[in-house]
Amino acid sequence: MPVAPAYRPETTILELGDGFYDVVAPARFPRHTLRRRNERWAARVGLDTLDEAEWLRAFAAFESLPANLPERLALRYHGHQFRTYNPQLGDGRGFLHAQLRDVEDGRLLDLGTKGSGQTPWSRGGDGRLTLKGGVREVLAAEMLEALGVYTSKAFSLVETGEALQRGDEPSPTRSSVLVRLSHSHVRFGSFQRHAAFRDAARVERLLEYATAHLVAEGGATPAGFRGAVVARSARLVAAWTIAGFVPGVLNTDNMNVTGESFDYGPYRFLTTFDPEHVAAYFDHTGLYRFGRQPAIVLWNLERLADTLTLVAPVEALRPVLERFESVFHEAVVAQLLARLGLVPRNADDDAALLRTTIGFLEGSPVGVDRFFFDWYGGEASARRALDGPAAASYAADAFTTFRKNLAKYEPVAPERLAIPYFQGADPCSLPYDEIETIWAAIAERDDWAPFEAKLQAIAELRSANPELAARGRQA
């Protein structure tokens, strides 16, 4: 394959050795129809020179990339699912396909799959992904990246020509295989598996791998690693909060040590800022509702700490958990200011702005995306906002309190308000109903125009607030 000169293959996962993964064979699909190719990120890993046939060989037939992993590896892990421990988990419909380096920052990246066939961990499933599921994941990853959330990237989506039976949607339904680009496939549950077997040697080996290649800032000690993961996870949930995003499911196997958001199943973007919003129809108790996300992430971090007690004293690990709240607060303030396009002031003013923002949004019918669109740049947007569809809500007492705090701030880039995005009538958003409409066009007429139009709109959102989007590239 004619990879670019910047392509830098890696096989570091093989350092882990026996007990961490299973060699698997990819499924053979009757058809390969390319539906999405992430050109921006293909260039960042030196794969933008592949033509369509070469791309499909790499990301639908799963031929090895040059000098890369010779075999496909389904990773092993356990996890708490709705707080019940499940030792039967692992990559059930995916595998690690390749590893490489980011052209721009040199960081290690994984190319992992979803819908690529059965593995020893499929638990009776067919190992496939619906095309609708693939479309939803592409949209989620693109939107989150634009909103400054550190997320896996939807690298490739290929329709595969099978008719799948699913109990939760009309069947038969079309099939696909997705490739994600992310900085890690090491989950909290990866540590949990080896801790459950009381295998201190493998916990230590996984720790060495993670601190050498994935989470270097904490150093090589268990406490340092744990502190780094706490900080990364706190920043992630802060970003979800300001994005108004509900992953739906936050089991320990749905969190990885790099603090990256990934695996978009029953997600929702909030229409209004509702702490009680539940994304997953099967979350009957609301365990993973929007307002509980910080507490859930902290609980999951405690389970990760449990695994490290095999290789470190409890006393050395306990203090790092106490950092979560302060890091979360700092991060949610920074994320708020970035989404509003404002220059930070001082700790007291910034905290007051956060309080009054949340105070207004929680009791308001104004949509999350509408609010941030209307008040991007602060008072510089007042005329635009007060002439818009939410003007009546901006006359409420709670908004008056927020606006007094807002008036203290200067915009990062006031000239940006003149660009077409902010001169438009409505913000880019991704409500559930629109996703359903996009899918209906594909399912009923094979019409991909609404899908492509939404991706273009998200790209315009990303360009409209580059400082916010850049936050999603920070670990």
- What is the rounded CA–CA span in Å between residue 112 and residue 97? 5
From 48, 110, 253, 263, the catalytic residue: 253
Give Cα separations from 353 to 147, 241, 244, 384, 392 (angstroms). Answer: 19, 15, 17, 21, 21
- What is the rounded CA–CA span in Å between residue 229 and residue 298? 11
What is the distance of C-alpha 425 from the center of its chain?
Answer: 28
- Catalytic residue flag (residue 349): no
| Residue 363 DSSP symbol | T
Orientation angle between helical segments 347-362 and 323-340, nearest 10 degrees: 80
Q: Which amino acid is at 29?
A: F
| CA proximity to 238, closest of 299, 153, 305, 297 | 297
CB 204 within 8 A of CB 192: no
Torsion on CA atoms 13, 14, 20, 23, rounded to nearest 10: 110
- What is the rounded CA–CA span in Å between residue 275 and residue 244? 10
CB 240 within 8 A of CB 269: no
- What is the rounded CA–CA span in Å between residue 93 and residue 154? 16
Which parts of 206-336 are beta strand (E)? Answer: 245-246, 268-269
| Residue 76 DSSP symbol | P
Give the other-Cβ count within 10 Å of 390's Cβ. 18
Structure tokens that stand for 405 in this block? 């705090």
| CA proximity to 179, closest of 137, 229, 225, 144 | 137
Q: Count of alpha carbons within 13 Å of 231, Cβ hemisphere only?
A: 15
What is the distance of C-alpha 441 from the center of its chain?
Answer: 26
Structure tokens that stand for 175 in this block? 């099939």
CB 302 within 8 A of CB 324: no
| CA proximity to 287, closest of 82, 86, 85 | 82
Structure tokens that stand for 60 in this block? 């639908």
- What is the rounded CA–CA span in Å between residue 213 and residue 474? 16
Q: Dump the DSSP string for 118-131.
A: --TT-TT----EEH
Give Cα separations from 205 to 2, 13, 361 (angstroms). Answer: 35, 11, 46
The residues annotated as belonging to the active site are 253
